[in-house]
């Protein structure tokens, strides 16, 4: 394990730079303030993520863009603050700047998860995307209980379930490489949602084992709409359970995740559309979306004496109805290695592939405008630790997008992440 940064005994300006290449954060311990805050249960993390991607060939447009995000995190432990045990307060704000090539590769290519928040596209600004209170308590031997409520950052939520995937800042860039996502866009209609969850946590593996989630259906990643407005049109509900095991003393699990929305959505069946005088062409039917996802994870290699140096297999898929959702099912798989090279214990690398099936109803519905097809892609990356606080990644993606007339997009990229 990497040694934690400690306060330097030299409080001079020159002393601030003595361990700059070995400490965990670029700005160090702030002359002891960071450690003092941690003793009182207050953690502050600042991260700058910069991306350059280029649609070198294929896709919708050949174009290169630079952009990035600044993440601000504040975590407070109420017990260390002298309140009560198990209570925590968490804030996550993000600033988005620059541009991305998400639209240039294809509307459903999703090749840069890190640039989705607070909003994708040409959005520039700073917003609080997550603000939650949580209470953890002893449940029974080997299990903890947790209740969380507030403004849920969906990417934080996903990476909480699957800690190894990162935020599009450590490992894979493409959303499809990280998790089985595409069919869920019909049910989860927002990047931040008001809601809550109740979980059990396996103490041995320090991972959520089972639970339920509820959330509103209105996106609040860039706003503070009222709770009543967020739940006015319906509720997203989901439940999951993870079955753990050990294979040759290496952790693995099988996970079932199922959910759906009570919000009525317009049917995408072309037969349900009629031309109504005044409003024009409209759907006469409404449906409720739902999905079932299955995941399999296994550590299959681990260095002796260092559990952080390992190789992992992660596969999954989602299935849902072809109406009203535009994507019906998905399959993906990835292999990642952490510290594969003994002399580079904090590097990581990976290769992934995925396939998304669009709804036949949706294809038929939009066929007068554009001919659609199923999408697939593959990605390979290498994340190089320059210093403990700076990581440089090279990434290459091949994506066949949803438009039949477009060639396969070739998308190289470079990412630099700096922890302050």
Task: Give the integer Cα–Cα distance in Å for 136 and 151.
Answer: 18
The reply to whether omega before 46 is within 30° of 0 (cis) is no
> What distance lies between CA 362 and its chain's CA centroid?
26
Q: pLDDT-derived band of residue 1, with 50, 70 and 90 as boundaries?
A: very low
The pLDDT of residue 65: 95
The pLDDT of residue 188: 82
Average pLDDT over residues 4-24: 63
Query: Which segment of 173-187, 274-288, 311-325, 364-378 scores lowest on mean pLDDT?
Result: 274-288
β partners of residue 57:
410
Residues 99/100/101/106 CA torsion (nearest 10 deg): -110
Q: Is a pLDDT exceeding 60 seen at residue 225?
A: yes
Q: Is a pLDDT exceeding 60 seen at residue 399?
A: yes
Q: Is a pLDDT exceeding 80 seen at residue 15?
A: no
Average pLDDT over residues 125-136: 96
Average pLDDT over residues 24-36: 91
The pLDDT of residue 252: 97
Among 223, 297, 214, 190, CA closest to 254: 297
Q: pLDDT-derived band of residue 186, with 50, 70 and 90 as boundaries?
A: confident
Task: Give the integer Cα–Cα distance in Å for 19 and 31.
Answer: 12
**Model confidence pLDDT, tens digit, residues 276-309:** 666 666 677 888 899 999 999 999 999 998 989 9
Could you tell me the domains of the chain?
45-419 (2.40.160.180)
Among 359, 358, 369, 375, CA closest to 267: 359
Query: Which segment of 208-212, 251-255, 271-275, 375-379 scores lowest on mean pLDDT?
Result: 271-275
**Model confidence pLDDT, tens digit, residues 59-83:** 999 999 999 999 999 999 998 888 8
The answer to whether 416 and 52 have CB atoms below 8 angstroms apart is no
**Model confidence pLDDT, tens digit, residues 314-338:** 999 999 998 888 889 999 999 999 9
The pLDDT of residue 8: 42
Average pLDDT over residues 339-368: 93
pTM equals: 0.90
| Average pLDDT for the chain | 90
Q: pLDDT-derived band of residue 7, with 50, 70 and 90 as boundaries?
A: very low
Q: Is a pLDDT exceeding 90 seen at residue 12?
A: no
């Amino acid at each position: 394990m990497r040694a934690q940064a400690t306060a330097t005994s030299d409080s001079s300006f020159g002393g601030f730079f003595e361990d700059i290449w070995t400490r965990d954060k670029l700005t160090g311990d702030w002359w002891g303030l960071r450690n003092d805050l941690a003793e009182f249960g207050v953690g502050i993390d600042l991260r700058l993520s910069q991306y350059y991607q280029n649609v070198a060939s294929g896709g919708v447009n050949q174009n290169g863009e630079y952009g990035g995000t600044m993440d601000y995190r504040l975590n407070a432990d109420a017990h260390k603050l002298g309140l009560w045990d198990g209570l925590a307060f968490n804030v996550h704000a993000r600033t988005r700047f620059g541009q991305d090539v998400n639209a240039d590769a294809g509307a459903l290519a999703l090749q840069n998860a890190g640039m989705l928040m607070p909003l994708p596209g040409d959005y520039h600004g700073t917003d609080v995307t997550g603000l939650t209170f949580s209470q953890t308590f002893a449940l029974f031997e080997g299990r903890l209980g947790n209740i969380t409520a507030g403004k849920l950052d969906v990417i934080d939520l996903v990476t909480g379930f699957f800690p190894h995937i990162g935020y599009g800042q450590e490992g894979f860039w493409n959303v499809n490489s990280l998790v089985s996502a595409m069919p869920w866009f019909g049910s989860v209609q927002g990047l931040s949602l008001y809601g809550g969850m109740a979980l059990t946590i396996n103490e041995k593996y320090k991972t959520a084992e089972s639970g339920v989630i509820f959330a509103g259906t209105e996106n609040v990643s860039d706003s503070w709409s009222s709770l009543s407005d967020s739940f006015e049109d319906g509720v997203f509900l989901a439940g999951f359970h993870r079955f753990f095991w050990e294979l040759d003393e290496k952790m693995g699990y099988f996970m079932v995740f199922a959910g759906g929305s009570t919000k009525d959505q317009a049917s995408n069946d072309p037969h349900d559309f009629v031309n109504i005088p005044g409003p024009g062409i409209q759907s006469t039917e409404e449906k409720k979306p739902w999905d079932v996802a299955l995941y399999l994870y296994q550590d299959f290699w681990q260095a002796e004496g260092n559990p952080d140096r390992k190789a992992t297999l992660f596969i999954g898929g989602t299935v849902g109805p072809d109406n009203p959702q535009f994507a019906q099912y998905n399959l993906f798989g990835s292999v990642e290695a952490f510290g594969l090279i003994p002399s580079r214990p904090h590097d990581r690398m990976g290769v992934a592939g995925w396939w998304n099936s669009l709804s036949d109803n949706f294809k038929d519905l939009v066929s007068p405008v554009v001919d659609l097809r199923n999408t697939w892609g593959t990605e390979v990356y290498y994340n190089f630790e320059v210093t403990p606080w700076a990581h440089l990644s090279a990434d290459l993606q091949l994506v066949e997008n949803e438009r039949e007339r477009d060639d396969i997009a070739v998308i190289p990229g470079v990412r630099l992440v700096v922890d302050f």
